[in-house]
Amino acid sequence: MAEYFTNIVGNEALRARLAHDVLSSSLSHAYIIEGREGSGRRTLALNIAAALSCQNRSADKFPCLECDACRKILDGKTPDVMHIVPERDRVSIGVDASRFIRSDAMVVPNDFEYKVYIIDPADTMTEQAQNALLLTLEEPHSYAVFFLICTSAASMLETVRSRAPVIRTEPVTDELLSEYIRAHDSRAVSLAASSEQYAALLRDADGCIGKALALLDPKRQKPSEERHALAEKFVKTLARPASEQARLELIANFSTKRDEVIPELIAISTALRDLILLKKTESAPLCFYTDREDAIDISYRFTTSALFALYNKVSDAIDALSRNANLRLTLTALTA
């Protein structure tokens, strides 16, 4: 039985496609890898790089993960795989990075046959940086391969997307997620003894292994639990006619930092999504609630139109804050 990219969990169709491209020497010189944070985008890029240089590659298995080439690439010990990230204290990747790539790509690989550039996160590249990178993508050297890591390819210039096919890492099932984190982190085994906490972790990970592993850190668990509690309180308060005082108290529960409020609103949006689905069928798959009976009870307190209206208001608030709208005014409008 063929074993391709065994370091990648799930994503069978994508793994098969990439394996075919590697075996047939039809791999593109550049790919945009989009997906959720923690969904394995960086792992995939490194494993493709390993597959290209694997010294034990066969028609039915690669990368082997054990040869000198695989180990050097996966352990970050070769100059032939370069990670291009924002400069220190900056949130975007500027034009200087693209100019460096163009210059460096003229130098042949040091250890292996291919030279790989992983640009992460590529959706932070300025327009000038993307245009400068385009010059390299249009005239690539035969040994140069580029992986542009992003959340959404739509954020990249159309001219860049035309030179780099988009591949997407998909979330995995809770069963595969649980199996993986239990095998790779003893904290998951311990946490599984607390069924409610473990179920909450799987829910918050949303099918992303990297996110699940990060959430095993107690420092990451607490903020997640606080967001969940806030979302529950928000929805329950608005499930009944609420006084102006109660609505003002809801606003006070939110963080005062924009980058923390948006995840709080996303948690509320996920809760509302569950309640809307429960209006259609009580057996709907849930992403936020772990207690189905409690969720059904809350859904009964809303009309379907009220749930959709509140869901849209939360979505509008997320969009507004993403565009730098006033935090206090946005939250006040949300609870009006």
Predicted local confidence at residue 245, as pLDDT: 85
> The domain at 3-168 falls in which architecture?
3-Layer(aba) Sandwich (3.40)
Predicted local confidence at residue 39, as pLDDT: 92
The string of DSSP codes covering 6-42 is TTS-S-HHHHHHHHHHHHTT---SEEEEE--TTSSHH
Question: Could you give the CA distance from residue 43 to residue 166 in angstroms, rounded to a whole number?
Answer: 16
Q: Is the dihedral of CA 314, 316, 318, 324 positive or negative?
A: negative
Could you give the C-alpha distances from 237 to 28, 76, 305, 308, 332, in angstroms and in order? 52, 50, 17, 16, 15
Mean pLDDT by 10 residues, the chain (336 residues): 88 94 94 92 96 92 95 96 89 93 95 96 93 94 96 91 95 92 91 81 87 84 84 91 83 88 91 93 85 92 93 91 87 85
The string of DSSP codes covering 115-168 is EEEEETTGGGB-HHHHHHHHHHHHS--TTEEEEEEES-GGGS-HHHHTTS-EEE
Predicted local confidence at residue 308, as pLDDT: 94
Instruction: Give ranges for CATH 3.40.50.300 in the chain.
Output: 3-168
